[in-house]
Amino acid sequence: MARWGSYDFSDLEKMAKSFKKALDERVIDRFIEDFLLEMAYRANRKIKKRTPVGVDTESPGNLRRNWKVSRVESVGRSFQVDNYNDTYYAIFVEYGHRTGKDLTKWVEGQFMMTISMQEIERELPRYLDRRMAELLNNIMNGRPARR
Protein backbone atom coordinates (compact mmCIF):
# COMPACT_ATOMS: atom_id res chain seq x y z
CA MET A 1 0.00 0.00 0.00
CA ALA A 2 1.32 3.43 -0.93
CA ARG A 3 1.87 6.05 1.69
CA TRP A 4 0.44 9.44 0.78
CA GLY A 5 2.16 11.48 3.41
CA SER A 6 1.03 13.40 6.44
CA TYR A 7 -1.01 16.57 6.45
CA ASP A 8 -1.41 19.38 8.91
CA PHE A 9 -5.12 20.17 9.16
CA SER A 10 -4.76 22.82 11.90
CA ASP A 11 -5.49 25.72 9.51
CA LEU A 12 -8.58 23.96 8.21
CA GLU A 13 -9.74 23.27 11.75
CA LYS A 14 -9.12 26.91 12.66
CA MET A 15 -11.18 28.03 9.67
CA ALA A 16 -14.03 25.66 10.59
CA LYS A 17 -14.05 27.00 14.18
CA SER A 18 -14.09 30.58 12.87
CA PHE A 19 -17.10 29.85 10.66
CA LYS A 20 -18.93 28.02 13.46
CA LYS A 21 -18.33 30.94 15.80
CA ALA A 22 -19.58 33.38 13.14
CA LEU A 23 -22.77 31.34 12.68
CA ASP A 24 -23.33 31.04 16.43
CA GLU A 25 -22.97 34.81 16.89
CA ARG A 26 -25.36 35.63 13.99
CA VAL A 27 -22.51 37.39 12.15
CA ILE A 28 -23.89 36.27 8.78
CA ASP A 29 -27.41 37.47 9.58
CA ARG A 30 -26.12 40.84 10.76
CA PHE A 31 -23.99 41.09 7.63
CA ILE A 32 -27.05 40.48 5.42
CA GLU A 33 -29.16 42.98 7.37
CA ASP A 34 -26.44 45.65 7.22
CA PHE A 35 -25.83 45.05 3.52
CA LEU A 36 -29.53 45.25 2.65
CA LEU A 37 -29.91 48.45 4.64
CA GLU A 38 -26.89 49.97 2.92
CA MET A 39 -28.31 49.11 -0.51
CA ALA A 40 -31.74 50.46 0.49
CA TYR A 41 -30.22 53.81 1.50
CA ARG A 42 -28.19 53.94 -1.73
CA ALA A 43 -31.41 53.35 -3.66
CA ASN A 44 -33.20 55.97 -1.56
CA ARG A 45 -30.59 58.61 -2.49
CA LYS A 46 -30.96 57.76 -6.17
CA ILE A 47 -34.75 57.87 -5.97
CA LYS A 48 -34.73 61.25 -4.23
CA LYS A 49 -32.41 62.73 -6.88
CA ARG A 50 -34.82 61.61 -9.63
CA THR A 51 -37.99 62.73 -7.87
CA PRO A 52 -39.34 65.95 -9.35
CA VAL A 53 -40.05 68.90 -7.08
CA GLY A 54 -43.52 70.03 -8.14
CA VAL A 55 -44.17 73.76 -7.92
CA ASP A 56 -47.93 73.41 -8.40
CA THR A 57 -48.49 71.11 -5.41
CA GLU A 58 -49.59 72.13 -1.94
CA SER A 59 -46.03 71.79 -0.64
CA PRO A 60 -43.15 71.90 -3.17
CA GLY A 61 -40.64 69.14 -2.48
CA ASN A 62 -43.09 67.13 -0.40
CA LEU A 63 -42.84 64.07 -2.65
CA ARG A 64 -39.04 64.11 -2.56
CA ARG A 65 -38.90 64.57 1.22
CA ASN A 66 -41.26 61.68 1.92
CA TRP A 67 -39.10 58.83 0.57
CA LYS A 68 -38.29 56.51 3.47
CA VAL A 69 -36.51 53.21 4.17
CA SER A 70 -38.12 50.61 6.41
CA ARG A 71 -36.33 48.44 8.93
CA VAL A 72 -34.89 45.15 7.75
CA GLU A 73 -37.29 42.35 8.66
CA SER A 74 -36.76 38.63 8.69
CA VAL A 75 -39.50 36.92 6.68
CA GLY A 76 -39.14 33.15 6.92
CA ARG A 77 -35.68 32.34 5.63
CA SER A 78 -35.24 35.66 3.86
CA PHE A 79 -34.86 39.33 4.71
CA GLN A 80 -36.88 42.28 3.45
CA VAL A 81 -36.41 46.05 3.42
CA ASP A 82 -38.62 48.57 1.63
CA ASN A 83 -38.23 51.98 0.06
CA TYR A 84 -41.60 53.68 0.21
CA ASN A 85 -43.40 57.00 -0.07
CA ASP A 86 -46.66 57.68 1.75
CA THR A 87 -47.53 60.69 -0.40
CA TYR A 88 -50.88 59.87 -2.02
CA TYR A 89 -49.83 60.97 -5.52
CA ALA A 90 -46.43 59.20 -5.57
CA ILE A 91 -47.73 56.31 -7.66
CA PHE A 92 -49.18 58.74 -10.24
CA VAL A 93 -45.84 60.53 -10.61
CA GLU A 94 -44.02 57.18 -10.85
CA TYR A 95 -46.19 55.53 -13.50
CA GLY A 96 -48.09 58.40 -15.12
CA HIS A 97 -51.75 59.38 -15.02
CA ARG A 98 -54.68 60.81 -16.92
CA THR A 99 -55.40 64.50 -16.59
CA GLY A 100 -57.56 67.25 -17.98
CA LYS A 101 -61.22 68.09 -17.60
CA ASP A 102 -62.39 64.93 -19.35
CA LEU A 103 -59.32 62.82 -18.46
CA THR A 104 -58.20 62.52 -22.09
CA LYS A 105 -54.64 63.82 -21.64
CA TRP A 106 -51.81 61.67 -20.35
CA VAL A 107 -48.93 62.75 -18.12
CA GLU A 108 -45.94 60.42 -18.55
CA GLY A 109 -44.50 58.79 -15.46
CA GLN A 110 -41.10 59.76 -14.09
CA PHE A 111 -40.14 56.17 -13.10
CA MET A 112 -37.84 57.55 -10.41
CA MET A 113 -38.06 54.38 -8.31
CA THR A 114 -38.09 51.92 -11.21
CA ILE A 115 -34.94 53.34 -12.82
CA SER A 116 -33.13 53.71 -9.48
CA MET A 117 -33.84 50.11 -8.50
CA GLN A 118 -32.59 48.87 -11.89
CA GLU A 119 -29.34 50.77 -11.32
CA ILE A 120 -28.97 49.29 -7.83
CA GLU A 121 -29.52 45.78 -9.24
CA ARG A 122 -26.69 46.34 -11.72
CA GLU A 123 -24.34 47.75 -9.05
CA LEU A 124 -25.19 45.19 -6.37
CA PRO A 125 -22.70 42.44 -7.35
CA ARG A 126 -19.76 44.86 -7.11
CA TYR A 127 -20.78 46.04 -3.64
CA LEU A 128 -21.56 42.50 -2.48
CA ASP A 129 -18.20 41.12 -3.63
CA ARG A 130 -16.32 43.84 -1.76
CA ARG A 131 -18.35 43.45 1.43
CA MET A 132 -18.17 39.62 1.37
CA ALA A 133 -14.38 39.72 1.00
CA GLU A 134 -14.26 42.07 3.98
CA LEU A 135 -16.54 39.76 6.00
CA LEU A 136 -14.49 36.64 5.23
CA ASN A 137 -11.29 38.46 6.10
CA ASN A 138 -12.79 39.55 9.42
CA ILE A 139 -14.08 36.05 10.22
CA MET A 140 -10.74 34.42 9.41
CA ASN A 141 -8.81 36.93 11.51
CA GLY A 142 -11.20 36.79 14.44
CA ARG A 143 -12.27 40.44 14.10
CA PRO A 144 -15.86 41.43 14.67
CA ALA A 145 -17.96 42.32 11.62
CA ARG A 146 -18.50 46.03 11.12
CA ARG A 147 -21.78 47.45 12.32
- Alpha-carbon distances of 11 from 16, 17, 76, 90, 139, rounded to whole Å: 9, 10, 35, 55, 13
| Residue 107 · residue 94 · CB < 8 Å | no
Calculate what percentage of the chain has a pLDDT beyond 70.
Answer: 87
Q: Report phi then psi at 64, rounded to 5.
A: -65, -40
| CB neighbour burial string for 5-20, b if at least 16 within 10 angstroms, e if fewer | eeeeeeeeeeeeebee
How far is Cα 58 from Cα 66, in angstroms, rounded to an integer?
A: 14
| Residue 130 pLDDT | 94
Give every CB contact of residue 100 below 8 A, 6+ residues apart in sequence: none
Q: What does the pLDDT look like over 42-77, one tens digit per residue?
A: 999 999 999 999 766 678 889 999 999 999 999 888
How far is Cα 33 from Cα 80, in angstroms, rounded to an integer?
A: 9
Q: What is the mean pLDDT of residues 101-105?
A: 93
DSSP three-state, residue 111: coil
Q: What is the pTM of this model?
A: 0.79
Q: Report phi then psi at 77, rounded to 5.
A: -100, 20
Strand partners, 85: 67
Q: What does the pLDDT look like over 2-37, one tens digit per residue?
A: 667 666 767 777 777 777 777 776 788 889 999 999
